[in-house]
Structure 1
């Protein structure tokens, strides 16, 4: 009997909350709009980030998605330790070994040999000079194809230039803007670094970077044999990047590459690999990392907006308690307990929040997809995770915002309330 009575009181409180919402329609709409703006901000930002990420991933699909690197062991630098014991130090992959691997792997797929010559070169052209932070990278005829880098002007290296290691180069956009005037074509012009004169045969498209890093745009690519000739002390590390043929067979292809490199390096049976075969970091993985930071920022801004909305809702509910003091007194005089009064105001606050949340979710999805699709044409994204999250937030905001007004209403004295005008 008690449970039935409790259920009836809950149903009655829900009905009373909806009656109050209909009675004070203007106030409800204005309050719901406060919540809607907060939810729009939260869902809109997160939807826009996911939509932009989806569009960029679609446009960049295939760039490095199936690539893996064959590189010297301990590539990151320093000698690795396990339980305080230094591991064996293996010799770096030499240029001849890299070439031998590439020649043998050509029967299965394409690969490119690269090496980092320096990250602190000063490049000059006449009286103009760059800062001593230009990157010089050695690459072969497959470098731009496998790395997914398009050329804005000019061409890639020819087979003759690769074979003989000619003094030619492909430059980044920052090198172009520093050494050349606006509108001046750098192709077939000359620049100098390491005391050598190089002919520019191409300019890479702008690549940009994360956190203001423009490293990819201040890079200069030279033929791999030319880079090898700059290695006076024999300390350069050569990396082979392989373009996998089938993403479902990537592990198999990595195994094939391991077998070929073990033969090239003459690693004996039972010996550990004297090199590493690792999956390349794809553009999608880097994009996901960037999107993660953007989500944190978007969530922070949306949370601050919702906090303001919650304070506004609490203020309106407190005013509502004052306006309905006589009504509360009548309910108490008719036998309503403080618990029922608290329940009524909490339900009312939650109803208003959910109404605002519904509007906010619709507006957020619309605005988010509109912003996201400005990156490129694509489909319509419905972020179910953020929708569920938004409604959970609405209920929490309603509970928190309605708690103080509900407590205040439940504490009112029924006799004093009936006298209130």
Structure 2
């Protein structure tokens, strides 16, 4: 008997027992729906986490200078370590701030596909004036370059970014955070562009207003005035000698490679030899995103466990149904074998029936799982997610389930004696 005939016979046998096959298919589909649905939702959550944290600068790392009282990875003060380490600290000039020359040199040398931003804090407690309106003395004044908005996760609601001429000359131009704009302009904040404001004693022309970003646990991210780096260096001389050096990679998966290259280049910029320890450290901003991903890992394990338990139950039910089918068709098997059918043909038919039932269940489960998971993706506002890996694994797992569940019934059916089978009542 040809394989096509065996396949056709197995398919028609399933069709003739719709209720019994349908119940088993439903049980298998339930397990695959749970597995694929949860995995699709997790993938959507994963995309949402990185999309949102990218807006907040999760694909950014910052280079800081290492202060004298900086604690090492072991929690001990570096000044209290061994004499050998103390010599390294002395050689590397621990506590030296990042200068403008060093930051500019690093930016010029760093050729990795990433955006490098240099910024400096001018004031943490500034007051902004416009006419008779003013803010509380809690506004942060930051001097940045052309990449500062991108690296910090800010986007413009009104106006433009700094031009090369603004940056080079240090012109008195400013971009306002949403809290500042609404405080001094009220409902007319959209018309703030080209208005003249005062930040403490300095006058600035407004060139843009930032979209609202929200607040962290410590400060409002919108209570800010951003001007050019050269302007802050000129107006706020002596207020802060160190610069903030941040690097934003295009793809968060390139973070480790970018950090490695940045470390090597900045060591050269700081003039460190191979025997000297770093007198700076790198602060990653994707740590919270990684913590959330680790939490999703536990959900993934739970989903796999639930899916496996359901599939085990499905396999037991499928094996039971196939054994019942063997008993019901004993005389049929005896008749077919008496006409010359071989054991392998009988086994193939029962195995095909079992695998087909499992694959029908897998197809239905994958379809339902994708629908359920993408409903969650729509809720999160992410794109349509197709979990190709879990779809493939679902088909493979269900094929193996059908094979294992139908193996014993198929062997039993193929081993029946035709004479005894024909006499079976």
With the length of structure 1 as denominator, give the TM-score of the two structures: 0.60
How far did residue 204 of structure 1 move?
8.9
Aligned residues: CA RMSD:
4.4
Classify 1:256/1:87 alpha carbon distance in 2 versus 1 (closer, same or farther; 3 Å): same
How far did residue 25 of structure 1 move?
2.1
Check whether the contact 2:59–2:249 (CA below 8 A) recurs between aligned residues. Answer: no
Classify 1:28/1:241 alpha carbon distance in 2 versus 1 (closer, same or farther; 3 Å): farther
Classify 1:246/1:385 alpha carbon distance in 2 versus 1 (closer, same or farther; 3 Å): closer
Q: How does 1:31-110 map to 2 (within 5 A)?
A: 31-62=24-55, 63-70=57-64, 75-77=72-74, 88=85, 90-91=88-89, 96-98=95-97, 100-101=98-99, 105=103, 109-110=117-118
1:268-324 deviation digits (Å, cap 9, x = unpaired): x55434336557262544444333332222111111111111111111111111111
How far did residue 241 of structure 1 move?
6.8
1:387 aligns with 2:387: no
Classify 1:103/1:404 alpha carbon distance in 2 versus 1 (closer, same or farther; 3 Å): same
User: Which of 401, 405, 414 is the matching residue for 2:405?
Assistant: 401
CA distance in 2, matches of 1:14, 1:419: 27
1:366-409 deviation digits (Å, cap 9, x = unpaired): 10111233223x22111111111111011101001101211221
1:275 aligns with 2:279: yes
User: Which of 307, 311, 314 is the matching residue for 1:309?
Assistant: 314
Q: How does 1:10-409 map to 2 (within 5 A)?
A: 10-62=3-55, 63-70=57-64, 75-77=72-74, 88=85, 90-91=88-89, 96-98=95-97, 100-101=98-99, 105=103, 109-110=117-118, 202=219, 242-244=245-247, 247=250, 250=258, 253-260=262-269, 262-263=270-271, 267=272, 269=273, 271-275=275-279, 277-278=281-282, 280=284, 282=286, 283-376=288-381, 378-409=382-413
1:200-255 deviation digits (Å, cap 9, x = unpaired): 9x4799xxxxxxxxxxxxxxxxxxxxxxxxxxxxxxxxx99742155489466555
Partner of residue 134, structure 1: none
How far did residue 335 of structure 1 move?
1.8
Partner of residue 197, structure 1: none
How far did residue 352 of structure 1 move?
0.8
Between 69-78 and 280-289, the greater mean CA deviation after superposition: 69-78
How far did residue 329 of structure 1 move?
1.2
SS of residue matched to 1:420: coil
With the length of structure 2 as denominator, give the TM-score of the two structures: 0.59
SS of residue matched to 2:340: coil
- Structure 2 residues without counterparts, runs of 5 or longer: 77-82, 108-116, 122-139, 144-148, 155-178, 181-198, 201-214, 223-241
Partner of residue 418, structure 2: 414
Classify 1:411/1:42 alpha carbon distance in 2 versus 1 (closer, same or farther; 3 Å): same
CA distance in 1, matches of 2:74, 2:356: 59
Between 57-66 and 40-49, the greater mean CA deviation after superposition: 57-66
Classify 1:111/1:259 alpha carbon distance in 2 versus 1 (closer, same or farther; 3 Å): farther
CA distance in 1, matches of 2:5, 2:104: 77
1:322-361 deviation digits (Å, cap 9, x = unpaired): 1111111111211222222111111110011111111111
CA distance in 1, matches of 2:417, 2:410: 14
Classify 1:88/1:335 alpha carbon distance in 2 versus 1 (closer, same or farther; 3 Å): farther
Check whether the contact 2:65–2:96 (CA below 8 A) recurs between aligned residues. Answer: no
Check whether the contact 1:41–1:364 (CA below 8 A) recurs between aligned residues. Answer: yes
CA distance in 2, matches of 1:302, 1:241: 49
CA distance in 2, matches of 1:392, 1:294: 22
SS of residue matched to 1:244: strand
SS of residue matched to 1:60: helix
Check whether the contact 1:65–1:284 (CA below 8 A) recurs between aligned residues. Answer: no
SS of residue matched to 2:321: helix
Classify 1:254/1:95 alpha carbon distance in 2 versus 1 (closer, same or farther; 3 Å): closer
Check whether the contact 2:6–2:349 (CA below 8 A) recurs between aligned residues. Answer: yes
SS of residue matched to 2:306: helix
Classify 1:408/1:270 alpha carbon distance in 2 versus 1 (closer, same or farther; 3 Å): closer
Check whether the contact 2:33–2:366 (CA below 8 A) recurs between aligned residues. Answer: yes
Residues matched between the structures, number: 308
